[in-house]
Amino acid sequence: MKLKDRHVYVTGGADGIGAAIVLDAAEAGSKVSFCDLNVEKGKAYEAELKSQGHRAFFHEGNVGKTESMQIVFAAITKEFGDVYGLVNNAGRNAYNDPVEMTEAEWEDFMNVDFKSVWTNSKLVLPAMRKNKFGSIVNISSIHARMSYMNYFPYAAAKAGIIGLTRNLSLDEAKHGIRVNSVLPGFTLTPMVEDYFVKNPEKRAEALSVQPMGRMAQPSEIAKVVTFLLTDDASFVNGADWIIDGGLSQRFA
Ligand SMILES: NC(=O)c1ccc[n+]([C@@H]2O[C@H](COP(=O)([O-])OP(=O)(O)OC[C@H]3O[C@@H](n4cnc5c(N)ncnc54)[C@H](O)[C@@H]3O)[C@@H](O)[C@H]2O)c1
Domain boundaries, the chain: 7-244
Distance of CA 123 to the CA centre of its chain: 16
Note whether 29 and 108 are within 8 A (CB): no
Alpha helices per DSSP H over the chain = 16-27, 39-51, 66-80, 103-110, 116-131, 152-172, 190-198, 201-208, 218-229
Name the residue of 15, 17, 217 whose CB sits within 8 Å of the most ligand 1 atoms, as the mutation to test its pocket.
Answer: 17
Per-position pLDDT tens, the chain of length 252: 999 999 999 999 999 999 999 999 999 999 999 999 999 999 999 999 999 999 999 999 999 999 999 999 999 999 999 999 999 999 999 999 999 999 999 999 999 999 999 999 999 999 999 999 999 999 999 999 999 888 999 999 999 999 999 999 999 999 999 999 999 999 999 889 888 998 889 899 999 999 999 999 999 999 999 999 999 999 999 999 999 999 999 987
State the pLDDT at residue 251. 87
State the pLDDT at residue 19. 98
CATH of domain 7-244: 3.40.50.720
Sign of the CA dihedral with 185 first, then 101, 88, and 34 last? negative
The sheet carrying 31-36 orders its strands as: 55-60, 31-36, 7-11, 85-88, 134-139, 177-184, 240-243
Distance of CA 94 to the CA centre of its chain: 16
Contacts of 15 (CB under 8 A, 6+ apart): 36, 38, 41, 189, 190
Bridge partners for 134 per DSSP: 177
Give catalytic status of residue 148 as yes or no. no
Q: Is 110's C-beta closer than 6 angstroms to any atom of ligand 1?
A: no
Distance (angstroms) between ligand 1 centre and the Cα of 65 equals: 16
Classify 177 as helix, strand or coil: strand
> What residue's CA is closest to ligand 1, atom 24?
12
State the pLDDT at residue 228. 98
User: Largest Cα–Cα distance in the chain?
Assistant: 51
CA atoms within 13 A on the CB side of 6: 22
Distance (angstroms) between ligand 1 centre and the Cα of 126 equals: 26
Distance (angstroms) between ligand 1 centre and the Cα of 169 equals: 23
Q: Is 90's C-beta closer than 6 angstroms to any atom of ligand 1?
A: yes
